[in-house]
Chain A
Amino acid sequence: MPFGNTHNQLKMNYTAEQEYPDLSKHNNHMAKVLTLEMYANLRDKQTPSGFTVDDVIQTGVDNPGHPFIMTVGCVAGDEETYEVFKELLDPVIEDRHGGYKPTDKHKTDLNPDNLQGGDDLDPNYVLSSRVRTGRSIRGFCLPPHCSRGERRGIESLSVEALGSLDGDLKGKYYALKDMTEEEQQQLIDDHFLFDKPVSPLLLASGMARDWPDGRGIWHNDNKTFLVWVNEEDHLRVISMQKGGNMKEVFNRFCTGLTKIEELFKEKGHEFMWNEHLGYVLTCPSNLGTGLRGGVHVKLPNVSKHEKFGEILKRLRLQKRGTGGVDTAAVGGVFDISNADRLGFSEVELVQMVVDGVKLLVEMEKRLEAGQSIDDLMPEQK
């Protein structure tokens, strides 16, 4: 729906060359991959719901990128986008996800019993643990493309499903547009409230349309399980708690997700999933597991070590500031999480985080004591 040139018939009077975007100053996955020939092949296609290649790439055209940070530069408007525009998205996926081939199969494993350890990360260093993912409801268009009616449909289905959760997962939904001042302040204090996107990466893809209609936050009474409705994906599911018991966090994550999936199925809905791409989400970077499992951990010494970057790379981990993506670390405290999303199962990724963070904390203790960490250097995972 949303874009000016979706279904603009006049543009078909012009050649592909005349229509092809100027990507000469661009640095994102889409720009690396989209040749004139590919654009010519794809420009007259659309998904059944009417999403076109121009819709897919608009965010990448509008945001040339950064010389150091490679953004994706394209989004999906519905599940079929990944099929209809395979020619563009397969190489983008391959480039973004470490060589994942169009013929590869993705493994899903949400059995928390398969995780080894993870309940003993040192809370003197690991301040908090968190696992998040996203889920899309099959049959609905994704945030860049959905109509108001669909978005509201997603919201009401989600609220109904979440309303059936009980026990430790029992909770409440707060619609963004009906929130009271007090509720809003409480959610901000809890670090739960998400705001209207300001990032041009998101705005340019049409995800902020009609804000705050159909958006809201659900969380359990214990404040350890949280669901965002209709932000960048249909659902973002987050399990979190203070301290280093990642096992407990992952347990709750898997239990909660499985329950939610069951509840949706009872109502005749499934999540978008297939054996090649795993869980289908709006941004190609979140395909597969859509999982980011991480901790806030104090690493003032390790982070200054000249091999810090190399260590993280070998452990397949990523560092961020404690404000999340695109923030800097404050006071030696880092957000350390898995770098991968696709091609590894949920259990495998959280295992990498657990093992990797354990090692980093050990290194930190060594450096604190003035000892070397050379013998602790990991192999490339």
Chain B
Amino acid sequence: MASSFAKMMSSRTTGLLMASLGAGAVATGYLLSDSAAISAEQRRKLYPPSADFPDLRKHNNCMASALTPAIYAKLRDRITPNNWTLDQCIQTGVDNPGHPFIKTVGMVAGDEESYEVFAEIFDPVIKDRHNGYDPKTMKHPTDLDASKIHSGVFDEHYVLSSRVRTGRSIRGLSLPPACSRSERREVERVVVQALAGLKGDLSGRYYSLTEMSEAEQQRLIDDHFLFDKPVSPLLTCAFMARDWPDARGIWHNNEKTFLIWINEEDHTRVISMEKGGNMKRVFERFCRGLKQVEQLIQERGWEFMWNERLGYVLTCPSNLGTGLRAGVHVRLPKLSKDPRFGKILDNLRLQKRGTGGVDTAAVGDTFDISNLDRLGKSEVELVQLVVDGVNYLVECEKRLEKGQDIKIPAPIQHFKK
């Protein structure tokens, strides 16, 4: 280690700085330049992981529950092949302590490799969020064969609309928290080019956020298609809103039943939807569209991020696996007032939201009902679960209308072991 003593620091300032920070013992063997400027390398040594460990005492999110000083010390100086760091993964969780009732995830991936390089923290977070799913030992099933769905047409007296969404990431390009402008533009280019190849009921058009006219903007708002610059601090603290609205846009088919968001919270968000209760047709279009888009990008040498541990890889660990949320807007005036409503939903592995989406309240008696789970069950399994569940809820509503009693169903098992 002779070379490390060759350039001993001569700056009094730097030496005293180190001494005053109690870094005495650590000072031995340092490589320091003459100026007061400290390199990133030196800083890492000057500030051991314990100096940088975040104060998470008032925090309630999956990252804060799982991150110990020991894990932090091990991972702090690691980088992914794209130079993404642990601090960058967890920044959003440090900046957003959370809510006593709602446990957010508190970390994001910057690239596909984040989930490997920082597995020591991602794995427990994934386990916590996804009902004990263990990425080290379990495999995630992917199944996009819509023909397997049965009883997928709901009573339209109750079910007003049906929707399935997921996300897809383009392998080889950094994710929204980490991507540079050129990478983000590349995602846009790759996806828009592929979508231009869709035909028939899927043929459509792209609307870039930077070039949208006032009229187009208003029309997209009226269709409830337009997404806006994120305001949630959960997203902005994860660096996802950088360079807005550069390379962001919306693509939809002419029939307005298949919609893709580009470069919002993920590279792509894919949505199939229609009014009424034909969930089977919605899912069929969803699977067909996804497969065609995948084929079109593969023709040009690209693929989606996917592996058998985690399924489809997305920015937020909560969306791993299928990334799928299948849901309906359904009127349940009587059932929603029944004290057993919550328990019924829990056992059916369903979640209720307001019709404005996540973090909104229900208006009137109409609820957004969707699957809770994302990882450990296939797309077909999750959609069937929603189909069976919604049919059950509608049955309950009808029974209550007739003055009959309802039963809480047995809880659905988490994973096939």
Residue ranges of A at the interface with B (Cβ–Cβ < 8 Å): 1-11, 14-15, 18-22, 47-50, 54, 58, 61-62, 78-80, 138-139, 141, 147-150, 152-153, 157, 177, 203-204, 208-211, 213, 267-270
Chain B proximity of A78: nearest CB distance (Å)? 8
> Is there an interface contact between A22 and B13, defined as CB atoms closer than 8 Å?
no
User: Which of A14, A149, A152, A270 is in CB contact (< 8 Å) with B180?
Assistant: A14
A-B contact pairs, 11 of them (CB 8 A): A5-B242, A8-B83, A8-B174, A21-B243, A48-B37, A62-B241, A147-B87, A152-B51, A153-B51, A203-B236, A210-B91
Chain B proximity of A13: nearest CB distance (Å)? 8
The reply on B178 being an interface residue by CB < 8 A is: yes
Q: Which of A47, A48, A79 is the most central at the interface, judged by chain B CB atoms within 10 Å of its CB?
A: A48
> Is there an interface contact between A58 and B13, defined as CB atoms closer than 8 Å?
no
Q: Which residues of B contact A14 (CB under 8 A)?
A: 180, 182-183, 186
Q: Which residues of B contact A2 (CB under 8 A)?
A: 88, 91, 239
The answer for the CA separation of A80 and B43 in the assembled complex, in Å, is: 15
- 1/0 per residue, CB under 8 A from A, across B178-192: the answer is 111111011000000
Interface 9-residue window, one of B14-22, B117-125, B141-149, B350-358: B14-22
Q: Which residues of B contact A58 (CB under 8 A)?
A: 242
Q: Which residues of B contact A153 (CB under 8 A)?
A: 21, 47, 51
User: Which of B39, B110, B177, B181 is in CB contact (< 8 Å) with A48?
Assistant: B39
> Is there an interface contact between B110 and A148, defined as CB atoms closer than 8 Å?
no
Q: Is the interface of B mostly helix, strand, loop or mixed?
A: loop
| A80 closest partner in B (C-beta) | B37
> Is there an interface contact between A270 and B243, defined as CB atoms closer than 8 Å?
no
| A272 closest partner in B (C-beta) | B36
> Is there an interface contact between A79 and B37, defined as CB atoms closer than 8 Å?
yes
Residue ranges of B at the interface with A (Cβ–Cβ < 8 Å): 12-17, 19-21, 33, 36-40, 43, 46-48, 51-55, 79, 81-85, 87-88, 91, 94-95, 110, 173-174, 176-183, 185-186, 210, 236-237, 239, 241-244, 246
The answer for the CA separation of A7 and B82 in the assembled complex, in Å, is: 8
Q: Which residues of A contact B85 (CB under 8 A)?
A: 1
| A3 closest partner in B (C-beta) | B239
Q: Which of B19, B84, B210 is the most central at the interface, judged by chain A CB atoms within 10 Å of its CB?
A: B84
Q: Which residues of B contact A213 (CB under 8 A)?
A: 54-55
Q: Which residues of A contact B46 (CB under 8 A)?
A: 149
User: Which of A18, A47, A147 is in CB contact (< 8 Å) with B185?
Assistant: A18
The answer for the CA separation of A14 and B247 in the assembled complex, in Å, is: 15
Q: Which residues of B contact A5 (CB under 8 A)?
A: 178-181, 242
| B47 closest partner in A (C-beta) | A149
